[in-house]
């Protein structure tokens, strides 16, 4: 998303000297994020600048592998395989296989995320995905709903999302416009939780009480 905002001029075009005020103003102008949320996002990003007491970061620093940038991206290859900074059509096609309708919901987005992690874990011998990366990844997967979709119901037009990924631009050409309602941390947390819940592969049990009684051999392979 930061690259997209820079492409539109909401952040510096050269990707340098991105300060707290720049982030607050840019996220407000582009996506109507409130100041508290934008400031928190700056705090999350500033860790990529190794300088003590840093007051800015750059887009190049955001690309440093295994800080915020991580394996199993929805649209970019893993660093192990080459350039992890640019859109990769093959990777994105892999993700889109799990987007099974014209309107994406939390389940479809979560399925694409899980599939990319499984693929990366299977084929990348240096696969890394820490708990902090998981939290960042959930936010990334939630971002299209937050930016372009229905926050309350966790849905978004697939065409808008594809345009965003493929062009690294906001889908204004397709009729999208900045939402009128201010976006807060509560909104972000709600959609992120939807995605997190949807990554759970265990379904609710419908067994009778009697069938739930644990067999002595259960789980022992007998």
- The answer to the question of residue 129 being in a domain is yes
Looking at the fold, whether 57 and 78 belong to one and the same domain comes out as: no
- The answer to the question of residue 220 being in a domain is no
Residue 71: pLDDT above 70? yes
| Domain CATH for 74 | 1.10.489.10
Other Cβ atoms within 10 Å of 165 Cβ, number: 16
Q: What is the pLDDT of residues 150-209, one digit of tens each?
A: 999 999 999 999 999 999 999 999 999 999 999 999 999 999 999 999 999 998 887 655
128: which 2 tokens? 């890394």
- The answer to the question of residue 207 being in a domain is no
Q: Is 53 left (phi over 0), alpha (psi -120 to 50) or beta?
A: left
- The answer to the question of residue 30 being in a domain is yes
Q: What is the mean pLDDT of the chain?
A: 93
Looking at the fold, whether 60 and 27 belong to one and the same domain comes out as: yes
Quick one: average pLDDT of 59-72?
Answer: 92
Structural domain including 190 reads 66-200
């Amino acid at each position: 998303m930061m690259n997209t905002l820079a492409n539109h001029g909401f952040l510096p075009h050269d990707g340098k000297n991105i300060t707290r005020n720049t982030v607050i103003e840019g996220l407000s102008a582009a996506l109507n994020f409130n100041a508290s949320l934008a400031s928190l996002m700056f705090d999350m990003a500033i860790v990529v600048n190794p300088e003590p007491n840093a007051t800015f970061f750059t887009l190049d620093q955001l690309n440093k592998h295994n800080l915020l940038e991580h394996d199993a991206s929805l649209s970019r290859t893993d660093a192990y395989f080459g350039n992890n900074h640019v859109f990769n059509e093959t990777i994105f096609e892999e993700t889109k296989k799990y987007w099974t309708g014209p309107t994406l919901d939390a389940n479809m987005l979560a399925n694409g995320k899980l599939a990319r992690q499984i693929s990366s874990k299977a084929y990348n011998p240096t696969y890394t995905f820490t708990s902090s990366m998981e939290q960042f990844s959930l936010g990334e997967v939630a971002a299209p709903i937050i930016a372009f979709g229905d926050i309350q119901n966790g849905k978004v037009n697939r065409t808008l999302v594809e345009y965003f990924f493929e062009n690294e631009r906001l889908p204004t050409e397709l009729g999208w416009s900045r939402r009128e309602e201010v976006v807060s941390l509560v909104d972000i947390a709600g959609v992120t939780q939807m995605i997190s819940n949807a990554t759970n592969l265990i379904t609710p049990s419908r067994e009778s009480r009697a069938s739930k009684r644990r067999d002595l051999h259960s789980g022992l392979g007998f």
